[in-house]
Chains A and B, each alone.
Chain A
Amino acid sequence: MSLQKSVKSSGDRSEQADTTSICSSVTTQPDRHGFFGGAQYSPEPKRTVSPSTILKREQKWLRMLDNWEAFMSKNYKKVRERCRKGIPASVRPKAWLYLCGGQLLLEKHPNEYEELLQAPGDPKCMEDIRKDLHRQFPYHEMFIREEGLGQQELFSVLKAYSVLNPKVGYFQAQAPVAAFLLMHMPAVQAFWCLVSISDKYLSGYYNPGLEVLQRDGDILHALLRRTAPAVHRHLVKHKVEPVLYATEWFLCALTRTLPWDSLLRVWDCFLCEGVKVLFKAALVVLAGALGPAKVRKRACGLCETLEVLRHPPENILGEEYLVYHMQRLSLTEEDFEFEHQRQTARRRAMANRSGS
């Protein structure tokens, strides 16, 4: 309980922020993540790490959060290792806020969120946001009620972002990310995390034209060719382009793709290590789903293959399987960098050709 309080204390700058933290701390009915139903509903109790291990981890994390700057600058590998093991649920919201730099942004601009909310906002954006409020995790207790507190805060967070960054305004894929953040932290913190994720982690994903997304799809395919050549060949043969199956994975940072426990674990790594974690998760899912030759044989067309990717077997989406195999992929930083450069150059050449 005391841990919960320490999480909240960093956010109670305003009354509004405080109400949210209260609201999001009651999220255990009926499933442990607050889902009444829908694809995310997971009624089985989680097979947990022993309570004593959790306690030890919590203490380590609290020490780390108290000396955050020092750990990040001198002992990043330790932070990464602890993220990969999974952040204890009680410290997760604060850890995420620190990991993604949301805390720094919040300290740098203490009143900006409230100021942004005062602005009228672009009417078209406001209308688009309103239309989507009831379409984000509609089975989650926070968002189930039309115009309830959750939906109101979702509106505020998305509106504030659209005012802050009018070039993007409001992009629909941001809504699930914002909603997911709101399930964990007060609105003002969720806002700064969203800013960091949209502008830094997924930089360019929400820009008009979706060029960066398409490039990253190409990078994913190129990496897949190294990690799972048979799966890559299958996708090429049936013309299954990344834009057909990975759009939602990337744009929503897997928030609508993975079972909840796995999602939390992947996000622990994602906020620590960046977007390449999404690539790794995608590669593991692709290899897991289409790896067996008999599955590829059955999925003998574009749509059949997409169907397999839309519903991969449960076991490969489990948190232990996923996180373990993500770390075992034989890909180095250099591999990522190399493909990034190569695909960027390739797309530039393509654009030049079609432009001339």
Chain B
Amino acid sequence: MAYAYLFKYIIIGDTGVGKSCLLLQFTDKRFQPVHDLTIGVEFGARMITIDGKQIKLQIWDTAGQEAFRSITRSYYRGAAGALLVYDITRRETFNHLTTWLEDARQHSNSNMVIMLIGNKSDLESRREVKKEEGEAFAREHGLVFMETSAKTAANVEEAFINTAKEIYEKIQEGVFDINNEANGIKIGPQHSTGAGAGGAGGAGAGGASSGGCC
């Protein structure tokens, strides 16, 4: 299907916080408690509509273990949005946010929109991190914040779509140079701005949208 823009996202955060489950909930609308561990990187994609425009989200889901950090860095390149995820039932995943954020800021372009996500909000009885703490962290570091549950799907759509809205606004404001693919944004084949047509390159992605990464 044709799209006006393609945004590249990256999902980061400690191992076991639910990154792959969030992605699956968003792309396939299902929760799969049983799945293989992510080694390296996985991909997902989905079409959304903002302001009447079709936008394709291409989402890179990364391995969370510390040991992978050196290669995760190469996945940041050209990401327009990042979901930084922690697990509200495990305090240490919240404590590591600063390191993740430093990494993200250092290896991505400065305009990348970062959404902070406290996942597993369905496990209220096991909560170790208060919602207010997440909000405070987000405020302090200029991030958007949301608590989600990949299991019940609560706020999952919103997390991905609100990030896209922020990116879209930045495009409207002229903050993002959409002709530079390093910003994680590609203009789709249906877009008619003359300048972007040459650099679109995504024409071949026309067909498959479900399950595929492009």
Contact = CB atoms under 8 A, between A and B. Distances in A.
B36 A307 contact: no
Interface size class of A (residues with CB under 8 A): 35 or more
B71 A247 contact: yes
Contacts of A176: 36-37, 39
Given A131-B15, A256-B39, A139 B34 contact: yes
Contacts of A210: 67-68, 70-71
B212 A307 contact: yes
Given A175-B37, A251-B39, A307 B67 contact: no
B162 to A, nearest CB: 23
Nearest to A39: B36
A211 B75 CA distance: 16
A270 interface: no
B10 to A, nearest CB: 13
Given A252-B39, A303-B214, A171 B65 contact: yes
B97 to A, nearest CB: 18
B74 interface: yes
B37 A301 contact: no
A132 B20 CA distance: 13
22 contacts: A131-B16, A135-B36, A172-B15, A172-B37, A172-B67, A176-B37, A243-B71, A247-B39, A247-B40, A248-B39, A248-B40, A256-B36, A300-B201, A300-B203, A300-B204, A301-B201, A301-B202, A301-B205, A304-B205, A304-B213, A306-B43, A310-B213
A114 interface: no
A173 interface: yes
Contacts of B34: 134, 138-139
Contacts of A304: 204-205, 213-214
Interface in B43-66: 43, 58, 63, 65
A206 B66 CA distance: 12
Interface in A228-270: 241, 243-244, 247-248, 251-252, 256
Interface residues of B, number: 27
A136 B35 CA distance: 8
Q: Which 10 A-B pairs have the closest CB atoms?
A: A247-B40, A303-B214, A300-B204, A135-B37, A138-B34, A303-B213, A131-B16, A248-B39, A248-B40, A172-B65
Interface of B: 15-16, 34-37, 39-41, 43, 58, 63, 65, 67-68, 70-71, 74-75, 201-205, 212-214
A299 interface: yes
Interface of A: 38-39, 128, 131-132, 134-139, 171-173, 175-176, 206, 208-211, 213-214, 241, 243-244, 247-248, 251-252, 256, 297-301, 303-304, 306-307, 310
A251 B75 CA distance: 17
A243 B74 contact: yes
A155 B204 CA distance: 46
A128 B15 CA distance: 8
B71 A213 contact: yes
A303 B203 CA distance: 13
A87 to B, nearest CB: 26
A244 B201 CA distance: 20
A244 B41 contact: yes
Nearest to B41: A244
A47 to B, nearest CB: 28
Contacts of A39: 36
B146 to A, nearest CB: 24
B204 A301 contact: yes
